[in-house]
Amino acid sequence: MFQSFNNRIIIEGFVWGALTAVFELLAQIPALALLCGVFAPLPLAIVVKRRDLKTGALAFLVACLFFYFISHAGLPDLIMTLQIGLLGLLLGVLLKNNVSTGQSITFFILSAAALTLISFSIISWNTKINMFVLSQESRQSMEQILRSYVNTGTPEGSLSQANIKTVKEIVNLASELLPANLVITSMITSFITYVLSFRVLRKLGSSVPAWLPFIRWQFPWYLVWSLITGLVMILAGDYFSWPIVSLIGRNVFLIAGFIYFLDG
């Protein structure tokens, strides 16, 4: 009987690991990347919640092996797979230990943001390509779209120098704030993953912590220091001609502003 139970756990780990690998493989399709990024951590979270962390680790190992042998992915793709796996295991541990909704969702979202920055930093170091700025192809595509939009309704079909300058400034701003946008995107997708995990686990008959009503959500007061820090870095960077400090400050300020926007 004990042997049968162990076999069942191993089989379940393989099944959930294979499902995770499917989501990760589908995420290689650009049109499905964001959607699959939301669903990919769910299988690992579910197996950790329903079984234990060892079974989840087995499923994670299976997912990595399946993903590598099927796609022959390079290091950047494997790093993103590792990020998804760690998020899934973390979510499962939080749900397994019945951590309160407020604490678990805050820790999970912040972990997702931190892992995003770490993953892209490692990829940038490994490939010698800065992942925190727009590529030349992306800049050209964005400029072309903005030119078409600004040019709409212009009889002569050409842009003035002022409009060309505006387009370039918008593209430069988008490139400078790309790190903040990556973090914000990871925060949104991880929140959706967290909500979906509740719905799926309830459908499977597992117990989950009570959901805190949105009206009672409140961020700690000291979060205001993130806004102040970002603003100080912007002002100091502009005053002392420290472009890197000013750039970091803009990204910090945007992320903090987004959080306060959610808080109302």
Instruction: Quick: pLDDT tens for 162-214.
Output: 666 776 777 777 778 888 999 999 999 999 999 999 999 988 888 887 777 76
Residue 146 above 70 pLDDT? no
Task: Give the residue-averaged pLDDT of 51-67.
Answer: 89
Residue 76 above 90 pLDDT? no
Residue 99 above 90 pLDDT? no
Residue 2 above 50 pLDDT? no
The answer to whether residues 59 and 16 touch, using CB atoms and an 8 Å cutoff, is yes
Which tokens belong to 42? 């769910």
Using alpha carbons, select from 56, 30, 27 the residue that is nearest to residue 39.
27
Percent of residues, the chain, with pLDDT higher than 70: 82
What is residue 204's predicted lDDT score, i.e. its pLDDT?
86
The answer to whether residues 177 and 249 touch, using CB atoms and an 8 Å cutoff, is no
Q: Rounded to an integer, what is the distance from CA 249 to the centroid of its chain?
A: 20
Residue type, 76: P
For tokens 């290091």, the residue is: 75
Quote the mean pLDDT of the chain: 83
Residue 1 above 50 pLDDT? no
Q: Which position has the higher pLDDT, 112 or 7?
A: 112
